[in-house]
Amino acid sequence: MRMKSKALLAPAKINLCLHVLGRRSDGYHDLAMLMQRVALFDKVTVCLTPGASILVDCPGLELPEGAENIAARAARLMLDHVGQRQGVAITVNKGIPAAAGLGGGSSDAAAVLLLLDDLLGLNLPLHELMMLGGRLGADVPFFLFRKTAWATGIGDILHEWRGMLPVWALLVNPGIPVATAWVYQNLRLTHPRTEDKIPRFPVRIEEVVHLLHNDLESVTCSRYPVVDEIKSEIMALGAAGALMSGSGPTVFGLFPEQGAAENAARALSRDTGWWSVAVSLY
């Protein structure tokens, strides 16, 4: 018997700004972030199978022994939530570097929730899907929201932000995985802050650059100074601004034109060996 199967492209994200406002009593941090999807994707395929096992295949990516992929946890959470017993086979073809500050795992989890909702004919409302996503990780609701967003709370309170200009992003990754938990554990907050006003919509790329800020950058740079080196190289190649995304180590540079971003990507790949790609905003 042929089983139902569907696929979805799961985009990466960059944080145009990331303010850490304070540590919460539950161990999480209150954040204020401007989150933007970019046209770099994993391909997630979900197939309904006989039985009740949940299997994940990530070609070319090995999971730590005993660990469960977030995509598998997403499938288990969804099935438990709707009270269904169902086998699921998930294949994640990675285009987004792992542990890179680009949200690949969270995007994959969001894709699994969306695909199972479709395959099982559930038609769950968005707020319910986002509630489930928030139980998997702070970035998952954003990928379910599927719009540029001003995010507060732990990243789960989202407001659509319509002001992004059609700029291009150069993504550069030195191939060093950075654990998000380690970055937050080593973040030293001097005092709680309030930074919850939605930024005004920009009309020039200089105004987008003015928004660039990441409270986590200094933590990652203290252990991996290559992040600062990448920022300098991107700026030397003509970027209007550059910033580390999320907990890193990926750095993005903003360019007003596709050709300039693509030329910079080729130059960095050739001269440094760093993974470099030019992408449009999504």
**Of the residues 13, 30, 42, 117, which is catalytic?**
13
Tokens describing residue 179: 């654990």
- Supply φ then ψ for residue 52, to 5 degrees: -135, 15
Catalytic site residue 13? yes
**Which entry of 30, 108, 117, 139 is annotated as an active-site residue?**
139
**Measured between alpha carbons, how far is residue 27 from residues 24, 190, 208, 240, 248 in Å?**
5, 17, 31, 36, 21
Query: What contacts 62, CB < 8 A, 6 or more positions away?
Result: none
Task: Using the Cα atoms of residue 71, residue 75, residue 80 and residue 86 in order, give the sign of their dihedral.
Answer: negative
Dist CA 175 CA 13 (whole Å) = 17
Query: Omega of the bond prior to 249 within 30 degrees of 0, cis?
Result: yes
Catalytic residues: 13, 139
